[in-house]
Structure 1
Amino acid sequence: MTLSQHLSGRRSIAIVRHGETDWNLARRIQGRTEVPLNATGREQARTAARLLAAGPGWSGLSSSPMLRAIETAEILSGALGLGDPYIDHALWERDFGPAEGLLVAEAERRWPGLDIPGAETLDALAERAAAGLLRTLEEAPGTVVVAHGALIRSGLTRIGGAPLPRILNCEVWILSRDGGSAPRLARLEPAAV
């Protein structure tokens, strides 16, 4: 079954994590720090565009206001012919407070579970992310959403009810719904297109 056949008749959105940055490569917490894509990240975005091009025909594009997400969205837009992305402030990455700029391992040693004083709580992030993604699904089906790993993972976990693994750079998830049914999640695999 092709991706288009799988999504036929369903309200759906595609959710893409931004491409790799040098801080991702170093396992450094970015949060709301502006870090541009590196060459690998730009290639990852082109690969994600090829996966999405095999889909049902996407009609819109929204992005976090962060530079790395906007750069990814612009690459997707150019490949898919979607125009400028709508900047959605509900898609901001988690505010990691004093952990921003630290290596993940160092932050985990200082704050087990990444329960960081002064940072956005994981519960607040999950609530914000789930609300934003479900709003897009209902109000703008056919949209490709470009956001961040912590936001995507927490939002989709809240929506789906089961924890997800770490979201990789330019990994594509499909959130869909038939009529009034519960939302469904699927990771887009290259073999599915």
Structure 2
Amino acid sequence: MSPTTTFALIRHGQTDWNAQQRIQGATDIPLNDTGRGQATDAVTALSGYDWDFLVSSPLSRAAETADLIAAGLELAVTRRIPGLVERDYGPAEGLRAGDELEALRFPGGFHGAESEADVAGRGIDSLELLAREHPGARIIIVTHGTLIRLALARALDREVGSIDNAALTLVRHHADGWRLDVLNGELLHPRETAVVRAKTPE
């Protein structure tokens, strides 16, 4: 029986652009004080499990969130993984809802932005690489909301809603596929728990 690798997927804490409802994407915006508090609070939810190490996106809001969680759990952040950066929204970054943003929108995305399929693909690739390199490990991954949402939707073949700042999402990977146990800090009812067989690569 192949080992199961467990991932805690944590969106970074709040930034000023989050609070202002601006599209952030690949722009490197730091945590604000609320975000630092959220990162510290995430330690409580994570302390109910045993973890081996953390990895994060290299963007500063994710890296600092990971460092704060690591300090609280007395663990190491071992890698900053480029494949875990947030979706690049191109010219839409920094914009809020309004005419300027709507002018960039088309069905399924924004002009000049990275496609959802590409984001989901590199997110899944990053998770599967970690599972191959560390079979059976329990890994905390601090990354970004859109990347988590799109990667989970691809892995589970289901719609996934928005991901809250610093909330715990728990997913398990094994040879037969993926299992989602906790989403946005909420333990899923057994009937809602998603188990999907691994797909043959296209």
Secondary structure, aligned partner of 1:183? strand
Quote the Cα distance in structure 1 between the aligned partners of 2:48 and 2:109. 40
- Say if 1:73 and 1:29 are closer, same or farther in 2 by CA, change over 3 A: same
Matched, 1:175 2:171: yes
Provide the residue aligned with 1:17 in structure 2: 11
- Superposition deviation, residue 181 in structure 1: 2.5
Residue identity over aligned pairs, in percent, reads 35
- Say if 1:21 and 1:85 are closer, same or farther in 2 by CA, change over 3 A: farther
Secondary structure, aligned partner of 2:142? strand
Greater percentage in helix: 1
Segments ≥4 residues shifted beyond 4 Å: 104-108
- Say if 1:190 and 1:96 are closer, same or farther in 2 by CA, change over 3 A: closer
So what's the TM-score if we normalise by structure 2?
0.82
Is the contact between residue 133 and residue 155 of structure 1 (CA under 8 Å) also seen in structure 2? no
Any unmatched runs of 5+ in structure 2?
189-202
- Superposition deviation, residue 100 in structure 1: 0.8
Matched, 1:38 2:32: yes
Is the contact between residue 29 and residue 99 of structure 1 (CA under 8 Å) also seen in structure 2? yes
Greater percentage in strand: 2
- In terms of mean alpha carbon deviation, does 82-91 or 63-72 score higher? 82-91
So what's the TM-score if we normalise by structure 1?
0.86
- Say if 1:189 and 1:182 are closer, same or farther in 2 by CA, change over 3 A: same
Number of positions where the alignment pairs a residue of Structure 1 with one of Structure 2: 182
- Superposition deviation, residue 113 in structure 1: 4.2
Select the residue among 145, 148, 151 that pairs with 2:144.
148
Provide the residue aligned with 1:120 in structure 2: 114
Secondary structure, aligned partner of 1:126? helix
- Superposition deviation, residue 172 in structure 1: 1.3
- Say if 1:126 and 1:138 are closer, same or farther in 2 by CA, change over 3 A: same
